[in-house]
Amino acid sequence: MTTIPVRPGIAERLSRMIQLPTVSAELEERGNGPFEDFVALIAELYPLTHEHLAFERHTEFGLLFHWKGPTVAPDGPLVLMAHYDVVPVDESDDWTHPPFAGVVADGWVYGRGALDDKGPLIVVLEAVENLLAAGFMPARDVYLSFGGNEESYGKAAIEIARVLKERGIVPWLVLDEGGAVVDAPLSFVQGRAAMIGVGEKGVLTLRLSTRGEGGHASAPPALTAVRRIARAVDRLGPATFRARTPKTISRMLAQFSEQATGPSRPLLKVLAAVPPLTARVFAALGGEPAAMVRTTVAATMQSGGTAANVIPSQASATVNLRIALGESVDSAVKRVRRRINDPVVSVEVLEGSEPSPESETDNAQFALLARALDDAFPGVRPVPYVMMAATDSRHFHRYSPAVYRFAPLEMSNAQRASIHGVDESVEIAALERGERFHRALLEHLD
């Protein structure tokens, strides 16, 4: 990789981004001001990017930059994605530093968005700005796609993906948030790995609702509306959907087995070779391993009733499903209805997004990610996995064959737990290595 000057001050620039409370779920309360301030801030902090790259806005919250290469590659451009909105903060949570203060202390940057997703966003902009300062031009066109409502399932990324497709632009490689450089990626796997999401589960939100006989709580009927909904939710347990092992998980285990030592090595080899066994083992482990091999169902909201001594005539519950690769929104809804097995309970689809395809790992795109990793994180190998949360990249994966989900930052288990939680923070040294990753990615495009 070419040695070029790197601007100091990345921590301070991220701090200023964090200080803008771009909480998309609180848009009505906060207004558009923080989002517009963010757009103005990156124009101030990255003048070369704004001078040399074409800039478009799509919807109120979609930012699209176009960095032209010397020629138009017939197999498409590189698209680097991130989002600048963040999730709300529970005011009752005890943060070490105020979540929107952007405190820089002891080699770390603290605040909401440090990891999700302003940290991954800033390392993209830093790499582009540094390369532009050195007079660099990428070997193929590069697009930077930043969304301001990813956390609220907004339309910014949907519109950007639609516009590029309408223009006949099919990306050669799309890279969005997702995995990270982690230690002990599974409880029985030791060592560091760069976990790269090659596919992601679908999202389905359902409302279960019913009506029943209301009245005074002193003389309840045998089956109230509340009890009927509670029974329906109870029937949607962990075993609602059959466990199955996606090809990606077998590839992940095979790769882990190559770097494993001791008794875990033969175990990983067996699991990689026998997908049905993997499905049973992972399902029995529960938690994250179980979520890798089956569609999950979680009841997230319930409603019904107006007083403590009144039996409500109606009740409802909201359930959120993450649909496993190989299944669909339609098949998941049918399965839920069969499991509930109650014609009086209606099942309404509030939002549905199909699971993505699985991108390959034996192609030039994945090899490019591996090469950039070797420059920024020597000795850390890329490992494919299935992304369980939803990202904006799923809108590109409907028509682009090579979509990957990886934030080039080192994250401990505690840091990963702080995403959407308390004390979100990123190490400054990790930001610097993340910038190096994206700089290498751009330099090796040829």
**Residue 1 pLDDT more than 60?**
no
Q: Residue 246 in contact with residue 325, Cβ under 8 Å? A: yes
What the chain holds in terms of domains, given with CATH numbers, is 10-200+356-443 (3.40.630.10), 202-353 (3.30.70.360)
Q: What would the mean pLDDT of 410-423 be, rounded to a whole number?
A: 94
pLDDT band at 2 (very low <50, low <70, confident <90, very high): low
Residue with the larger pLDDT of the pair 393 and 265: 393
Which region among 40-54, 85-99, 208-222 has the lowest average model confidence (pLDDT)? 208-222
CA end-to-end distance (rounded Å), the chain = 12
Predicted confidence (pLDDT) per residue in 366-375, tens digit = 999 999 999 9
Give the per-residue pLDDT at 141: 98
Give the per-residue pLDDT at 187: 67
Give the per-residue pLDDT at 158: 96
Q: What one-letter code names the amino acid at 233?
A: V
Q: What would the mean pLDDT of 238-254 be, rounded to a whole number?
A: 94
pLDDT band at 30 (very low <50, low <70, confident <90, very high): very high
**Residue 189 pLDDT more than 80?**
no
Give the per-residue pLDDT at 191: 83
Contacts of 128 (CB under 8 A, 6+ apart): 46, 49, 53, 67, 142, 144, 438, 442
Across the chain, what does the average pLDDT equal?
95
Give the per-residue pLDDT at 404: 98
Q: What would the mean pLDDT of 425-431 be, rounded to a whole number?
A: 98
Residue 137 φ then ψ, to 5° = -130, 130
Give the per-residue pLDDT at 153: 84
Closest to 210 measured CA to CA, from 317, 321, 352: 317
Q: pLDDT exceeding 90 applies to what percent of the chain?
A: 87
Q: What would the mean pLDDT of 278-304 be, rounded to a whole number?
A: 94
Predicted confidence (pLDDT) per residue in 310-327, tens digit = 999 999 999 999 999 999
- One-letter-per-residue 3-state SS of the chain: CCCCCCCCCHHHHHHHHHCCCCEHHHHHHHCCHHHHHHHHHHHHHCHHHHHHCEEEEECCCEEEEEECCCCCCCCCCEEEEEECCECCCCCCCCCCCCCCCCCEECCEEECCCCCCCHHHHHHHHHHHHHHHHCCCCCCCCEEEEEECCHHHCCCHHHHHHHHHHHCCCCCCEEEEEEEEEEECCECCECCEEEEEEEEECEEEEEEEEEECCCEECCCCCCCCHHHHHHHHHHHCCHHHCCCCCCHHHHHHHHHHHHHCCCCHHHHHHHHHHCHHHHHHHHHHHCHHHHHHHCCEEEEEEEECCCCCCEECCEEEEEEEEEECCCCCHHHHHHHHHHHHCCCCCEEEEEEEECCCCCCCCCCHHHHHHHHHHHHHCCCCCEEEEEECCCCHHHHCCCCCCCEEEEEEEECCHHHHHHCCCCCCEEEHHHHHHHHHHHHHHHHCCC
Which region among 217-226, 254-263, 284-293, 426-435 has the lowest average model confidence (pLDDT)? 254-263
**Residue 72 pLDDT more than 80?**
yes
Q: What one-letter code names the amino acid at 317?
A: A
pTM for the whole thing? 0.93
Q: What would the mean pLDDT of 244-273 be, rounded to a whole number?
A: 90
Q: In what order do the strands lie in the sheet with 104-105?
A: 104-105, 108-110, 425-427
CA distance readout (Å), 218 to 165, 315, 349:
61, 19, 35
Residue 159 φ then ψ, to 5° = -70, -40
Which region among 100-104, 379-383, 422-426 has the lowest average model confidence (pLDDT)? 379-383
Predicted confidence (pLDDT) per residue in 333-342, tens digit = 999 999 999 9
Q: What would the mean pLDDT of 257-272 be, rounded to a whole number?
A: 88
Contacts of 284 (CB under 8 A, 6+ apart): 290
Q: Residue 203 in contact with residue 320, Cβ under 8 Å? A: yes
pLDDT band at 288 (very low <50, low <70, confident <90, very high): confident
Residue with the larger pLDDT of the pair 1 and 54: 54
Q: In what order do the strands lie in the sheet with 296-303?
A: 296-303, 314-323, 202-211, 346-353
Q: pLDDT exceeding 70 applies to what percent of the chain?
A: 99
The 8 Å CB, 24+ separation contacts for 210-214 are 210/314, 210/315, 210/316, 210/342, 210/344, 210/345, 210/346, 211/313, 211/314, 211/344, 212/313, 212/314, 212/315, 212/344, 213/311, 213/313, 214/310, 214/311, 214/312, 214/313
Give the per-residue pLDDT at 403: 98
Predicted confidence (pLDDT) per residue in 117-128, tens digit = 999 999 999 999
